[in-house]
Amino acid sequence: MQQVVHDPDHMRALVHEARAAGQRVGFVPTMGALHAGHASLVARASRECDVVVVSIFVNPTQFGPQEDFTRYPRTLAADTALLAAHGVRWIYAPEASSVYPPGDATRIVVGGPAVRFEGEQRPGHFDGVATVVCKLFLAVPADVAYFGAKDWQQSLVVKRMVRDLGLPIGIVVCPTMREPDGLAMSSRNAYLSVADRPRAVALSESLHRAAELWSAGADTATIERTMRETLSSHGVVIDYAALADPESLDPLPKNATRAIALVAGRLGSTRLIDNMELPTRGSPERGAET
């Protein structure tokens, strides 16, 4: 017995009622056009919680003026069917006017892990993400919310906002689900032309190359150059290809033991992002004492 809820007050009352009855509530925020990546978050939430809420809302404030807000895929009927098959009790699908009432003038502004990479490429994007996630957490006051490592920087931004504002919700980050050739699943993969689809493997390939070189002890500049070469050789127009600290996204200090590789680029009019946490490597051996 699945229910689609549009009204935030109604949604909040349902979640409060469930929690008052002792049920653990899990929440998966999405923009719809659901695929197996989203389904993996729902499956994890179902394992760990008594009730699962999935929101479907294409959030206008996280899209730039030249971005794909209007053409973003909207597949509510298929999404509802997928979520029914996963036993999701409530789908929260608010109207834009209830999330952003007329005259709306309030935003959450995020810094720290929001500044580099997607923050540079998409000015204002993470302020839009943080604002909508906060509003969704108010409408769905769950015990725990599930996010994908696919959007690693987004997960850091959400965790930082939750900590900084003291929001009473746990955050779980789940592994990236991939197509058989390694392409990270994404609602935007549907935009890829038949010719560009095989080229899109360049993103995960560049990350695997980074992991190999990192494990072999290569330096950051060499690894980043190889990532760029891999992307370019498949015709990807690069936005960034870099290593960073996996928690702060700051540039890597010398002798870093932990790193994440992040890539973003375009094939035709399709923009793709991906990332991979690299295996922890031991501190480099010290040179012979003289």
- Per CB under 6 A, the list member of 42, 156, 157, 184 interacting with ligand AMP is 184
Helix (H/G/I), strand (E/B), else coil: 272: strand
Size of the site for ligand AMP (CB under 6 A): 17
Q: Which range binds ligand AMP by CB under 6 A, 45-53, 69-77, 184-192, 200-208? A: 184-192
Of 38 and 228, which CB lies nearer to ligand AMP in the complex structure? 38
3-state secondary structure of 23: coil
Q: Which is nearer to ligand AMP, 15 or 132 (CB)?
A: 132
Nearest residue to 42 via CA among 29, 33, 58 = 29
DSSP state of 197: T
- Only one of the segments 33-41, 113-121, 215-223, 267-275 lies at the binding site for ligand AMP (rule: CB under 6 A); that segment is 33-41
- Beta strands at 260-267 and 237-244: parallel, antiparallel or unpaired: antiparallel
Site for ligand AMP contains 187 (CB under 6 A): yes
**Stretch of 38-46, 77-85, 163-171, 208-216 contacting ligand AMP, by CB under 6 A:** 38-46
Contact residue for ligand AMP among 44, 150, 160, 271 (CB under 6 A): 150
- Surface-to-core class of residue 109, CB atoms within 10 Å of its CB (0-12 exposed, 13-18 middle, 19+ buried): exposed
Residue among 18, 25, 27, 38 that touches ligand AMP (CB under 6 A): 38
Does position 207 interact with ligand AMP (CB under 6 A)? The reply is no
Q: Which residues form the catalytic set? A: 38
CA 133 to centroid of chain Cα atoms:
12
Binding status of residue 148 toward ligand AMP by CB under 6 A: yes
What minimum distance in Å lies between the beta carbon of 56 and ligand AMP? 8
Q: Does 45 bind ligand AMP (CB under 6 A)?
A: no
176 interacts with ligand AMP by CB under 6 A: yes
Q: In degrees, to the nearest 5, what angle opens at C-alpha 76 toward C-alphas 72 and 79?
A: 105
β-bridge mates for residue 27, sequence order: 53, 145
Which lies closer to ligand AMP via its Cβ, residue 175 or residue 279? Answer: 175
Which residues 118-147 are close enough to bind ligand AMP by CB under 6 A? 147
Phi then psi for residue 28, to 5 deg, are -120, 105
- What are the tokens at 203? 């993103």
Q: Which amino acid is at 90?
A: W
Nearer to ligand AMP, 154 or 220 (CB): 154
Cβ within 8 Å of residue 191, ≥6 positions away? 68, 268, 269, 270
CA distance 202 to 44: 29
Q: Does 185 bind ligand AMP (CB under 6 A)?
A: yes
Q: Is 61 in the site for ligand AMP (CB under 6 A)?
A: no
Binding site for ligand AMP (CB under 6 A): 30-31, 37-38, 40-41, 147-148, 150-151, 174, 176-177, 184-187
